[in-house]
Amino acid sequence: MRYQSQSVAYWYFAVAMVLFGLQLVFGLLSATKYLGPDPLLYILPFDVTKVIHTNLLIVWVLTGFMGATYWMIPEESRTELHSVKLAYIQLGLWTLMGVTAIIGYLFRYGTGNKLLEQPLPHKIVIVICMLIFLYNIGMTIRKSGRFTATESVLMIGLVSSAILFFPALLHYENYTVSIFYRWWTIHLWVEGVWMMIMGAFLAYLLIRLSGADREVMEKWLYVIVGLVFIAGIIGTAHHYYWVGVPTYWLPIGGFFSALEPLALVGMAAYAYGAMRRSGLAHPNTLALHWTIGSAVFALFGAGLLGLAHTWPSVNKWTHGTLITAMHGHAAFYGAYAMIVLAMITYALPSMTNRREPGSAIGYWAFWLQISGMFGMTLSFATAGIGQVYLERIMGMGYLDAQLKIQIHFVMLICTASVFTVGVALFIYDFFRHAPRFATTPDPDARMPHASSGTL
Amino acid sequence: MNNRQARLFAIWGTGLSTLLFLGMTLDTHRQIPELTNSENITPQVTHGMDVWHKYNCINCHTLFGEGAYYAPDLTKITQHRGEPYLQAYMRDPSKFYDEQTHRRLMPKQDLSEEEITDLIAFLDWVSKVDNQGWPPRPILVTGSFIPGTAAVAGVDATGTPAAPEGTTPVDPGDDIRALGEHVFRTASPACIACHSTAPGANMAGPTLAGIATRAAETIASPDYKGQATDVEGYIRESITQPSAHLVPGDMYSAGGVSFMPPGYGDGLSAEQIDQLTAFLATLK
């Protein structure tokens, strides 16, 4: 750790870890309900466990993004954070918002609008937290006078995330219009500006871990950002299939979302190329696993599995089936969960007494999570394919078709258990090392650097 | 390509995409009122949407295929099930489905009567939105288009008919329409073996989706030769005397005689015929 104020990142990561663990509890609960009958039908029905599962995901990933940003910005701008106090106030407010929202969901206190279930007061707190965050980061960069290309991509990603949250605050009389703008927030987050955030973290990690030339890495970062937006903005169209908007969204959605994997291919090639060319070995090989893993798993989950059902003539059969759950789990995990875990794994040796190369537990956590999530993806895929053929194509009733695909739910629970063990090990590995916030003059001295150009 | 060109590519690519996207958004707003029949969004429909949100329906069901995948899609539900059926269903889902059989059940929601009526109005508005013809084939809640794969009555080891897979054992205290649906599945031969309740899905017999609406039209038309004077009467007559009025089509009748088995008038009790009629009359 080079700057004392980077230590705030540790507490963001710690909160993210706890929420990640909780997310899995509710995920497993939801999965077992697919096997039924449900003894908790009148205590914790599926809609409650599911809404908590998805909301915890959003909250912990965003907490991780914020922590990772607070870690990265001082290093990139070579200065202390503008205000450590503000960062802690923000974390407190944010955590309070997250926890009270979850408790509220237990009592059905929510908007009932998918992924945007947070009640209005909570949404307002989210906006306040974002503003504090952006102010703090903006002031840090302004005071330092050093603004790298990686930082600019990250900043644009974060500012746009905040702006795109605003349509979610409004109320729409027409359900179709409400769907239309819901995707401005959700889609443009996960397939647009969050990809920028992921790209920026990826570039940062690759420059640090492989010693790749900053000039070259940042050039390709721009190309990737260009590809993300060219495909991603109009690619929103694939959420406008079958919801009551004009027909032209169908071919446009098919074409532009078929381009969406390009950016992900770019990122994976970028990560792999950087590693191969550099010839330098950073001691933190565990972080390297997570970084490359994130790029590759995102290509598989978000790119390939998204492409699998994005064409309108395929999607008309698969829309609203477990095929979507297949894509959703692998995409979110690969692109966002793994990049946060990569940043945590990279930063942890500087903030605790964990050794640089990581421990055996750390590697078990990595491989169990990867194989567990891969198995879960296959379980959703096989269940989804069965569902599409039986229910959508052959015309068997929903409830009867669900009975025929029970075995895939058994498989889902088994593989999800493997995944959970992996996550539990990661969390254990995080907390078993006590934090230690001593600054070292130049942590980058652990590996020589090629260059460090600025904008 | 140098760094500056790469940056220009990102900026111009993003800018152009954004412009195109905003342009299409404007045009979409121009077309939405017509596509969604926005003039039909009455205060009742709006309140129904609030009910949909209040009870977190979307975290089990899908609407327009969006939501969660734990319960059936409801986009076209009001075209598959009539209002009285949906009302009775929402008062107590366990009267219609059995958790032991389907391994999942919708928990009773304790909706007020007004909430139920408005929610149905909202779902009915949804079902009429022009959504590019999705789903391409009706999505059924239970049953099947494929004869033999549906929940038809089996016979257990002792020779007595067992409750068919996929239905709830009903008792005489249940809603008459729920009892009727049970008859629909369990009568011998089962009605569901030849008739679907999905629009456009004709099997050996014509689909019974919309039967109540069509019955009213049939009775009013000069071609009608039967004795019935109202919808219930027409349905009752079709069950007990299938040839009294023939649905046009060589696949349904020949020489003035319907292909439908004529024995239901004797095989079913008067009470069962009442129940079956009540159920079918809900298929608007």
Residue B68 resides in a domain? yes
Asked if pLDDT for residue A401 goes beyond 90, the answer is yes
Burial (CB < 10 A; 0-12, 13-18, 19+), residue B69, is buried
Among B105, B136, B167, which residue terminates a domain? B136
Q: Which residues contact B217 (CB under 8 A, 6 or more apart)?
A: none
Residue B214 resides in a domain? yes
Residue of A323, A222, A318 lying closest to A270 (CA atoms): A222
Residue of A435, A375, A408, A343 lying closest to A75 (CA atoms): A343
Q: Which of residues 239-268 of B touch A (CB under 8 A)?
A: none
- The answer to whether residues A69 and A85 touch, using CB atoms and an 8 Å cutoff, is no
Alpha-carbon distance of A49 to A108, in angstroms, equals 11
Q: Which residues, given as ranges, of chain B have pLDDT below 50?
A: 147-167
Residue A223 confidence class, pLDDT cut points 50, 70, 90:
very high
Residue in A44, A52, A159, A400 to test binding to B, most B beta-carbons within 10 Å: A400
Residue B162 resides in a domain? no
A352 φ, ψ (degrees, to nearest 5): -140, -175
Chain A residues with beta carbon closer than 8 angstroms to that of B56? 47-48, 51, 108, 110, 112, 117
**What region does B201 belong to: left with phi over 0, alpha with psi -120 to 50, or beta?**
beta
Q: Residue ranges per domain, chain A?
A: 4-162+274-435
Asked if pLDDT for residue A205 goes beyond 50, the answer is yes
3-class DSSP state of B29: helix
CATH number for region A4-162+274-435: 1.20.210.10
Average pLDDT over residues A69-75: 96
- B48: β partners: none
Searching chain A, which residue's CA lies closest to the CA of residue B164? A400
Query: Quick one: three-class SS letters along A67-102?
Result: HHHHHHHHHHHCCCCCCHHHHHHHHHHHHHHHHHHH
Q: Which two tokens stand for residue A200?
A: 């920026």
Do both B126 and B190 map to the same domain? Answer: no
Domain of B63, in residue numbers: 38-136
Q: Which two tokens stand for residue B99?
A: 């958790």
Q: Which residues contact A174 (CB under 8 A, 6 or more apart)?
A: B32, B36, B38, B41
Alpha-carbon distance of A242 to B131, in angstroms, equals 5
Question: For all residues of chain A together, what is the average pLDDT?
Answer: 93
Residue B157 resides in a domain? no
Residue B181 resides in a domain? yes
Instruction: Write the CATH number for B113.
Output: 1.10.760.10
Chain A residues with beta carbon closer than 8 angstroms to that of B72? 398-399
Do both B54 and B113 map to the same domain? Answer: yes
Do both B73 and B121 map to the same domain? Answer: yes
Q: What is the ipTM of this complex?
A: 0.93
3-class DSSP state of B131: coil
- Number of domain units in chain B: 2
Chain A residues with beta carbon closer than 8 angstroms to that of B198? 395
Do both B195 and B124 map to the same domain? Answer: no
- Each residue of A291-345: pLDDT tens digit? 999 999 999 999 999 999 999 999 999 999 999 999 999 999 999 999 999 999 9
CA distances A155 to A151, A161, A287, A433, B9, Å, are 6, 10, 23, 31, 19
Residue of A214, A205, A98, A73 lying closest to A152 (CA atoms): A73
Do both B180 and B126 map to the same domain? Answer: no
Q: Do B102 and A399 touch (CB under 8 A)?
A: yes
- Of residues A36, A247, A398, nearest to B132 (C-beta): A247
Residue in B104, B141, B149, B185 to test binding to A, most A beta-carbons within 10 Å: B104
Q: Which residues contact B131 (CB under 8 A, 6 or more apart)?
A: A242, A243, A244, B64, B75
Whole-number pLDDT of residue A453: 39
Task: Tell me the whole-structure pTM to 2 decimals.
Answer: 0.84
B253 φ, ψ (degrees, to nearest 5): -160, 160
Q: Do A48 and B65 touch (CB under 8 A)?
A: no
Do both B186 and B266 map to the same domain? Answer: yes
Look at strands B257-258 and B253-254 and give their pairing: antiparallel
Searching chain A, which residue's CA lies closest to the CA of residue B97? A399
Q: Do B141 and A33 touch (CB under 8 A)?
A: no
Residue B185 resides in a domain? yes
Chain A residues with beta carbon closer than 8 angstroms to that of B166? 397, 399-400, 403
Whole-number pLDDT of residue A443: 52
Asked if pLDDT for residue A140 goes beyond 90, the answer is yes
Chain A residues with beta carbon closer than 8 angstroms to that of B144? 394-397, 400
Using the Cβ of B141 and the Cβ atoms of chain A, whether some distance falls under 8 Å is answered with: yes
Whole-number pLDDT of residue B171: 67
Q: Do A392 and B137 touch (CB under 8 A)?
A: yes
Average pLDDT over residues A268-288: 84
Searching chain A, which residue's CA lies closest to the CA of residue B110? A42
Chain B residues with beta carbon closer than 8 angstroms to that of A244? 32, 35-36, 64, 129-131
Whole-number pLDDT of residue A84: 97
Among B136, B158, B184, which residue terminates a domain? B136
Do both B182 and B274 map to the same domain? Answer: yes
Q: Do B72 and A45 touch (CB under 8 A)?
A: no
Using the Cβ of B13 and the Cβ atoms of chain A, whether some distance falls under 8 Å is answered with: yes
Q: How far is B78 from chain A (nearest CA, A)?
A: 16
Q: Do B139 and A392 touch (CB under 8 A)?
A: yes
Least confident of A34-43, A178-187, A271-280: A271-280
A453 φ, ψ (degrees, to nearest 5): -75, 155
Q: Do A242 and B13 touch (CB under 8 A)?
A: no
Residue in A102, A113, A242 to test binding to B, most B beta-carbons within 10 Å: A242
- Of residues A38, A234, A393, nearest to B104 (C-beta): A38
